[in-house]
Structure 1
Amino acid sequence: MKHAEVLCGLAANTALPSDLVDRLIELAVPDVDFPDDLADRADLSHAQALALYARVPETGVRLAREGRLTAADVDPVAQPDTALALLDEGRGDPEWARLLVADPWFLRRERLAECAGLPADVVETLAADPDVNVVSELALYTTAPEIVARLARHPHTDVRRALAWNEATPPAVLASLLGGDGLPPARLCQVCDAEETPPAPPAPDREEPDLELWDTSTCGGSHRSAAHLIRYTALYNPATPTEAAAAFVDHPSKDLRTALAQRPDLSPELGRQLAADPHPAVRAGLAENPATDDALMRALADDEDDDVRRHLALNPNVPLDVLVRLAATKKFRADAPPPRIAAASPAEVDELARSKDSTVRMLLALRQDLPVAIRDALATDPDAKVLKTIAPHPGLSEAQLRAMVEGHGVRVLAKVATNPDAPGALLEDLTRHRPPVQKAFREIARHPNATPQALLTCLADHRARPIAAGHPALPPQAIVELLADDDGAVARSAAGNPSLPGAVMRNLVP
């Protein structure tokens, strides 16, 4: 028996009696796995949480984030990480911040800088922290104007870049970070941090070649890589003034032009300039931007680059006829409809359902809010990829699901098995299909309607076995036998099965 795995499974078992939870807490010690499972229990009482916290203080962060501990339960000196978790959740004592800001480990001070509602004196101390990582984290989260103004002049480029991400940074400061105007030159970056003697700044009249975004190792005294990343970040920040961003439309860096092309405040004039950009990444960014007008989108639909057309298909405002035309040539993600189809009107939905292009019908089938009549029509579609997409929809009858399998077999079987309304008899029949579909066994093993016989069959598949072992419909005798399985994941799943007999649970707890 995989004893450690079994105890973890038991600790997570929702049917475990409260007295056995108490017993496992008594057995809990650091450096074993099951205390984390106990900390995650939804039915853990405050008294049990305190007992577990006393036995294994390392569970404190988990318990704090789950709302099991209060400020009165925590000593910030003994357990600073738990105190930080409560502060981050807004349930800690603000006075703790004055203690934690002096913690010798910079990662704790860094996490403190992420917390909202810190006392002003603590924020001041963090802004002057000797570790640049702490100051950068504060720059990313602070909303205090006076702190923002100070950090914009910080000598390290990491702090300035973090400030450029922060949407609470005032537009005037973002414009300065973007253009470099009105701020003292930065003196440090990550590249020169690693050098014993930082290089001197280059001569003012020296021309340097263009730099692309992911060339992050260039300094030469000018901190070029870091300065480039600051500009790139500021261009993505929607609070950056439009006029300041527009100045980069002709910048030599394709990365900066791409960031500009994706801004929500992009004007039609800038859009026309960027639509003629020689680099496809820039045009792709423009193609997916909801601010791009219809005329430009129609022009981009004929772009020679596949990636540009793919991004255009994901634009929520792309004209429907353009999207239909793109569907004939592009591959789409199978987990969600393109935004324009997700927002299609009832009349447009009806039009899409009658499309002669099976890819269009498949994309429509990804919507989860289809009218019943259209859903049922798609459930009889002659194309297997449409059926695979519609098969998981709730509300389909057993007859409809069986017809899909009879007509298209292995191509749709696994998707049929995911339908939440698939009855147990159908799922049982799917396990007997020849040839078998391995993925279907995993779907059946987790299906709430799976029958005991279907689950027993699923145990024969090595990937479905640990899933089936935890299904409450599995016969109790089979669950007990799986506790001794050679695969620890199977044993753990069986121990966590709420249908495990109570007497067996008691025998398993030492």
Structure 2
Amino acid sequence: MNDVLCGLAANEALPFELVERLVAVADADIAHSLAGRADLRREHALRLAARVGESAVPLAYEGLLTAADIDPLAQPSAALALLEEGRGAPGWARLFAGDPDVTRREKLAACPGLPAGVREMLAADPDVRVVAELAWWTTADLAARLAHHPHAEVRRAVAGNEATPPRVLAMLITGEGLAPAQRCLVCDSKETPYVHDPHCPEPGCGLRSGARCAGSHESTLHELAEQALHNPATPVGVLLRFADHPSALLRCLLAARRDLPPRTAARLADDPVPGVRAELAQNPAIDDVLVRVLAADRGYDVQRRLAHHPRVPLDVLSGLVAATKVGSVLLPRIASASPTEVEDLARSSDPVLRMLLAERRDLPAGIRDLLADDPDAKVVKSVAGHPGLSGVQLRSMVERHGTQVAAKVAANPQTPPGLLEDLAARIPPVGKALREVARHRNATAPALLACLTDVRARRAAAGHPALPPEVVVGLLADDDWQVAQAAAANPALPPAVMAELIPEPHTT
């Protein structure tokens, strides 16, 4: 792969005539970069597809190729891409439904808006992988029929399809009115009883981790239950049986259901596995009584997850942040705090609560400024990204708290150029701050030159348009391919140099 030419292909300042030259010498990687250009013309796309066959797929996804431009027999992947986007030719779906390549039929099965006749062909496909893929995405009526399919893999997919009617999902869980599944992927290929080795040495083995079958297709039916628990269309009443299931994973999925009844939630609050209780703690369906019960739960991650509950009372939240590390994130309850609560939080004696409030970006100016002057560095660090802060306030933060807030100040979109230069010139350098400066829209040439001394910041700085052109040219030969590619994509690269980098078509 020519990293420099790939960078040039993404350069928004690349002149039109050089785009044409690059199309003429493109390989697969360059073509992929060219496909993402906003100014790429249809004639370019046609030439790229003719030159690099595999480029037709990204070009089709980008809308640069239409059904009229694609031969489905010569370019099946591009044709399937258009079918996936709903822009394929009417006859293509039937053509691919009879394709001998199972991977193409499987990809077709996931396409939206398939004609009824094509869906019927895929539903009767001899390869269960195709039928299962169809079952994931098909319409309610066909999903209801496929629920009776004798293969457990198909039923598993039906359970995950949100279009599947609730009564059918209930039937998959209870088994009522449904004959037992006859096969699964495990017993299709292995003599049972069989348990799949998670470190399976067999090349090309398609069995999932944990696959097992002793004649009852245990792992696939377990996965069917997982899909049904994930599926919001599944009636919660038939899922309550999983509250006492031996699988902690299934109990976790039940604990996360937004339609969980209070009585079942209370049972899960006593679950012996902390992960189940932690999943329950973040569920908006639990009431205030259960929230306070879980607030005293010292099980792993329960209190941290409870802090993310959208309706946790502030007095409970205060205790939670004192008992567990929640990080400097905007918690849902803080985000929805009323104006009075915001005032109270801003004047709280607990710096962690002030820090959490400071993560909001819609604070009134008075509250924002109060937090900007906070004596605690972690509070200032959280508010430093607020776009309403002035350059004077941002500089004051750095003067008071130094490296503790430097990166967050550098990331503020309003940080003025002079302050960015000062942050980049700090001794010793602050790596995170340099990386923020390197991608800041206000960064100046002196600031960016300082960023080049940091390995990771160098990659971002190499693509910044404020970097001097002569420096950009020098970075084209950098030992780090990411730096060289970023420099080639830099709009500051002189057009004459761009032209020199692209070989004449006859040299390829």
TM above 0.5: yes
Equivalent residue, structure 2, for 1:385: 378
1:128–1:417 Cα change, 3 Å: same
Equivalent residue, structure 1, for 2:203: none
Structure 2 residue corresponding to 1:251, chosen from 227, 231, 245: 245
Name the amino acid aligned to 1:166: N
Aligned-pair CA distance for 1:131: 1.8
Unpaired runs of 5+ residues, structure 2, are 195-207, 504-508
Task: Work out whether residues 72 and 78 of structure 2, in 8 Å CA contact, stay in contact via their aligned partners in 1.
Answer: yes
Equivalent residue, structure 2, for 1:71: 67
Say yes or no: does 1:443 pair with 2:443: no
Say yes or no: does 1:151 pair with 2:146: yes
Structure 2 residue corresponding to 1:278, chosen from 272, 275, 278: 272
Name the amino acid aligned to 2:462: A
**1:179, 1:372 → 2: CA distance?**
57
- How big is each residue's C-alpha offset from its partner over 1:309-360, in whole Å with a ceiling of 9 and x where there is no partner? 12211111222221122111222244x4111212222222222212211111
Aligned-pair CA distance for 1:273: 2.1
Aligned-pair CA distance for 1:157: 1.6
Structure 1 residue corresponding to 2:318, chosen from 307, 313, 324: 324
Structure 1 residue corresponding to 2:408, chosen from 410, 415, 420: 415
- How big is each residue's C-alpha offset from its partner over 1:267-321, in whole Å with a ceiling of 9 and x where there is no partner? 1222222222222222222211111111111111111314221221111122222
**1:461, 1:253 → 2: CA distance?**
48
Output the TM-score relative to the length of structure 2.
Answer: 0.92
Structure 1 residue corresponding to 2:48, chosen from 43, 52, 68: 52
Say yes or no: does 1:172 pair with 2:167: yes
Task: Work out whether residues 216 and 226 of structure 1, in 8 Å CA contact, stay in contact via their aligned partners in 2.
Answer: no
Aligned-pair CA distance for 1:198: 4.2
Equivalent residue, structure 1, for 2:236: 242
Give the root-mean-square deviation of aligned CA atoms. 1.8
Aligned-pair CA distance for 1:500: 1.1
Structure 1 residue corresponding to 2:363, chosen from 370, 383, 403: 370
1:248–1:10 Cα change, 3 Å: closer
1:283–1:466 Cα change, 3 Å: closer
Structure 2 residue corresponding to 1:103, chosen from 80, 99, 103: 99
Identity of aligned residues (%): 60
**2:145, 2:71 → 1: CA distance?**
34
- How big is each residue's C-alpha offset from its partner over 1:153-180, in whole Å with a ceiling of 9 and x where there is no partner? 2222221111111111111111111122
Task: Work out whether residues 49 and 69 of structure 1, in 8 Å CA contact, stay in contact via their aligned partners in 2.
Answer: yes
1:408–1:127 Cα change, 3 Å: same
**1:462, 1:314 → 2: CA distance?**
36
Say yes or no: does 1:469 pair with 2:462: yes
Structure 2 residue corresponding to 1:4, chosen from 2, 5, 17: 2
Task: Work out whether residues 166 and 235 of structure 2, in 8 Å CA contact, stay in contact via their aligned partners in 1.
Answer: yes
Q: Which residues in structure 2 correspond to 1:262-341 (within 5 Å)?
A: 262-334=256-328, 336-341=329-334
Output the TM-score relative to the length of structure 1.
Answer: 0.92
**1:501, 1:392 → 2: CA distance?**
34
Equivalent residue, structure 1, for 2:497: 504
**1:154, 1:361 → 2: CA distance?**
57
Task: Work out whether residues 192 and 213 of structure 2, in 8 Å CA contact, stay in contact via their aligned partners in 1.
Answer: no
1:391–1:221 Cα change, 3 Å: same
**1:287, 1:185 → 2: CA distance?**
36
Equivalent residue, structure 1, for 2:81: 85
Q: Which residues in structure 2 correspond to 1:166-205 (within 5 Å)?
A: 166-195=161-190, 197-198=191-192
Equivalent residue, structure 2, for 1:231: 225
**2:436, 2:443 → 1: CA distance?**
10
Equivalent residue, structure 1, for 2:200: none
Equivalent residue, structure 2, for 1:261: 255
Say yes or no: does 1:397 pair with 2:390: yes
**2:97, 2:327 → 1: CA distance?**
46
Task: Work out whether residues 242 and 250 of structure 2, in 8 Å CA contact, stay in contact via their aligned partners in 1.
Answer: yes
Aligned-pair CA distance for 1:485: 2.1
**2:121, 2:248 → 1: CA distance?**
39
Equivalent residue, structure 1, for 2:26: 28
Task: Work out whether residues 87 and 94 of structure 1, in 8 Å CA contact, stay in contact via their aligned partners in 2.
Answer: no
Equivalent residue, structure 2, for 1:350: 343
Say yes or no: does 1:133 pair with 2:151: no
Task: Work out whether residues 271 and 286 of structure 1, in 8 Å CA contact, stay in contact via their aligned partners in 2.
Answer: yes
Equivalent pairs counted in the alignment come to: 490
